[in-house]
C-alpha cells in the first residue's frame, strides 16, 4: 500500500490506505495565512496572527472530517514524551497552550490528535481492534529517543493494543537526499538502535545523510508493528508544496499530521 494525495477544494493532504479513520498529512495548500506562512500554516508564530492559524485548523477539520473542538495539540521540544489524552485535554487551537510532549495517544471516540513538522518526521498510528490512535513528531533527536516505539508502548499499556494490530503511517519529511548532518547524528542513532542503522546512512566526504523514515520504520518493526506505510515525499525537494525549515532558512509555517479516534472496529 502507498500513501496517496487527496484534495478537498484548495486543501491538499496525504492519507494512508490502511488507516480508515479521518486522518491526513497536510501540505502548504488551502489555508488563509499570508507571507512566509502562506497558506496552510498550523502553528502560532509572531508573523502569523492566531486567528489565521485557528481558521486554517477549522478549514482542515472540515476537509478531513474531524471536530476542531475535540482536538488535542502538542507543544513540541524534541522529547520522547507521549501523552495519553481524553476530551478533558482539549485546550484550544494554539499549540503553545499545551503541555510539553512530542507524541499523543487516545482511545476516546471522536477525539483528534495533531502533531507538527517542517522537515521532521510525522507518524500516525491506528489500532482498529481497540480503536486507539496516536500521532508522533520525530526529529532526529526524537528518532534517537525511539519516540515512535514509546507511542506503541503507550497504546499497549494504556489501551491493551497489540503491536501486530497497529497500523503506522510515516509522512513526508526531509529525505536522505538532503538531510545533511555531522557524525554526531548517526552516532546517536547507532547508540539507540545498533549498527543496523548504517544501512540507512550515506556518507559523502565528512558529512552523513541518515534516512529517518527508514530508521523509524526499522524501530517500529522491531517493536512488532507489521503494517507500515511510508511517504516517499521529501519536504526539502518539494519545499513549494511542504514546509521545509532548511529550504526556507526558517522562514516558514508548519504542516500537521492529524488523526481522529473512530472507536473500535475502524
Q: Which domains does the chain have, with CATH numbers?
A: 3-260 (3.60.140.10)
Dist CA 189 CA 166 (whole Å): 24
Question: Based on C-alpha coordinates, what's the Rg of the chain?
Answer: 17
Q: How far is CA 212 from the centre of its chain?
A: 13
Dist CA 177 CA 46 (whole Å): 31
Dist CA 136 CA 138 (whole Å): 6
Low-confidence ranges of the chain (pLDDT < 70): 1, 264-266
The β-bridge partners of 156 are none
What pLDDT shows up at residue 17?
Answer: 96
Dist CA 191 CA 176 (whole Å): 20
Half-sphere exposure of 97 (CA within 13 A, CB side): 11
What pLDDT shows up at residue 263?
Answer: 72
What pLDDT shows up at residue 46?
Answer: 86
Dist CA 135 CA 72 (whole Å): 10
Q: How far is CA 186 from the centre of its chain?
A: 21
Dist CA 68 CA 140 (whole Å): 29
What pLDDT shows up at residue 266?
Answer: 54
Dist CA 107 CA 86 (whole Å): 8
SS3 191: helix
- Structural contact between residues 227 and 167, judged by C-beta atoms closer than 8 angstroms: yes
Task: Say what the pTM is.
Answer: 0.98
54: part of which helix (H) or strand (E)? helix 50-64
Dist CA 256 CA 113 (whole Å): 10
pLDDT per position as a tens digit, 92-117: 999 999 999 999 999 999 999 999 99
SS3 9: coil
SS3 84: strand
The 3-state DSSP composition of the chain as helix, strand, coil percent (nearest 5) reads: 30, 25, 45
Alpha-carbon distances, residue 152 vs 53, 132, 133 (angstroms) = 30, 10, 10
Amino acid at each position: 500500500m502507498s500513501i496517496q494525495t487527496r484534495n478537498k477544494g484548495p486543501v491538499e493532504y496525504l492519507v494512508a490506505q490502511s488507516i480508515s479513520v479521518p486522518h491526513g498529512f497536510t501540505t502548504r495548500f488551502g489555508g488563509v495565512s499570508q507571507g512566509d506562512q502562506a497558506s496552510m500554516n498550523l502553528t502560532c508564530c509572531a508573523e502569523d496572527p492566531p486567528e489565521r492559524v485557528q481558521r486554517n485548523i477549522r478549514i482542515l477539520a472540515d476537509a478531513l472530517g474531524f471536530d476542531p473542538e475535540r482536538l488535542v495539540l502538542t507543544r513540541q521540544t524534541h522529547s520522547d514524551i507521549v501523552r495519553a489524552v481524553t476530551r478533558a485535554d482539549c485546550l484550544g487551537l494554539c499549540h503553545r497552550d499545551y503541555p510539553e510532549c512530542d507524541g499523543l495517544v487516545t482511545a476516546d471516540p471522536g477525539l483528534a490528535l495533531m502533531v507538527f513538522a517542517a522537515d521532521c518526521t510525522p507518524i500516525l498510528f491506528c489500532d482498529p481492534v481497540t480503536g486507539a490512535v496516536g500521532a508522533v513528531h520525530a526529529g532526529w533527536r526524537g528518532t534517537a529517543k525511539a519516540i515512535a516505539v514509546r507511542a506503541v508502548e503507550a497504546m499497549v499499556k494504556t489501551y491493551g493494543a497489540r503491536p501486530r494490530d497497529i497500523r503506522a503511517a510515516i509522512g513526508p519529511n526531509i529525505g536522505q537526499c538532503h538531510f545533511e548532518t555531522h557524525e554526531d547524528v548517526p552516532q546517536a542513532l547507532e547508540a539507540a538502535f545498533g549498527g543496523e542503522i548504517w544501512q540507512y546512512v550515506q556518507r559523502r566526504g565528512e558529512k552523513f545523510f541518515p534516512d529517518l523514515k527508514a530508521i523509524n520504520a526499522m524501530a517500529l518493526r522491531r517493536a512488532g508493528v507489521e503494517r507500515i506505510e511510508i511517504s516517499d515525499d521529501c519536504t526539502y525537494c518539494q519545499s513549494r508544496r511542504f514546509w521545509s525549515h532548511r529550504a526556507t532558512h526558517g522562514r516558514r509555517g508548519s504542516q500537521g499530521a492529524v488523526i481522529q479516534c473512530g472507536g473500535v472496529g475502524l
